[in-house]
Amino acid sequence: MRGPAVFLDRDGVLNRTKCRNDRPIPPASLDELEILPGVPEALRELKTAGYALVVVTNQPDVARGLTTLDAVNQLHRFLGERLPIDEFRVCVHDDHDHCDCRKPRPGLLLASPQYDVAKSIMVGDRWRDIDAGRAAGCKTIWVRCDYDERLPERPDAVVSSLWEASKVILTDGAPNR
């Protein structure tokens, strides 16, 4: 039987982002990677409640030549050793590639059938995450950040951290549409 997942954006949800011109940028190395407060506890509680934990992240800096897939995988190995993540799904394309996996398209969330997407939740800090979740048929929770970009439309819940998102999920089972 397929179970529900919590799909998690990486940067801004699990780890701190830096901002350049009010736009989020991912950590370039382990030296820059900082897991946000409350993340380990939130993930442990979600895992105990029976949710699969799947990171779905756009990493266009690979396509742009600013980092390598090996560097991205190194960050994921580090996170995977410290957090109860079941799976990392990465899109390394840029917008002009028009791939199905780059959020706001739902390809990363729909990549394999082992999760019941209709009972799953997408947690993200950008409009792309919320749009991808909605396109996949998930409930959505927006972790509000002050980026200089368009706001997501109609997330099912708005929170200030993954810790707060976990409380919404565990209290309600998932936010109601």
Residue-range domains of the chain with CATH: 5-109+131-150 (3.40.50.1000)
The Cα–Cα gap between 169 and 43 comes to 11
The Cα–Cα gap between 8 and 19 comes to 20
Catalytic residue (one of 9, 125, 131, 156): 9
Specify the range with the lowest mean pLDDT, choosing from 29-38, 97-106, 148-157, 166-175.
166-175
Contacts of 68 (CB under 8 A, 6+ apart): 62
- For residue 116 the two structure tokens come to 């019941």
Mean pLDDT over all residues of the chain? 92
Q: What are phi and psi of 110, to 5 degrees?
A: -100, 10
- Is residue 11 flagged as an active site residue? yes
Q: Using the predicted structure, report yes or no on whether residue 15 has a pLDDT greater than 60.
A: yes
Q: Using the predicted structure, report yes or no on whether residue 173 has a pLDDT greater than 80.
A: no
Whole-prediction pTM value? Answer: 0.94
- pLDDT confidence band for 177 (50 / 70 / 90): very low
In this structure, the strands spanning 139-143 and 157-159 are parallel
Segment 32-40 mean pLDDT: 96
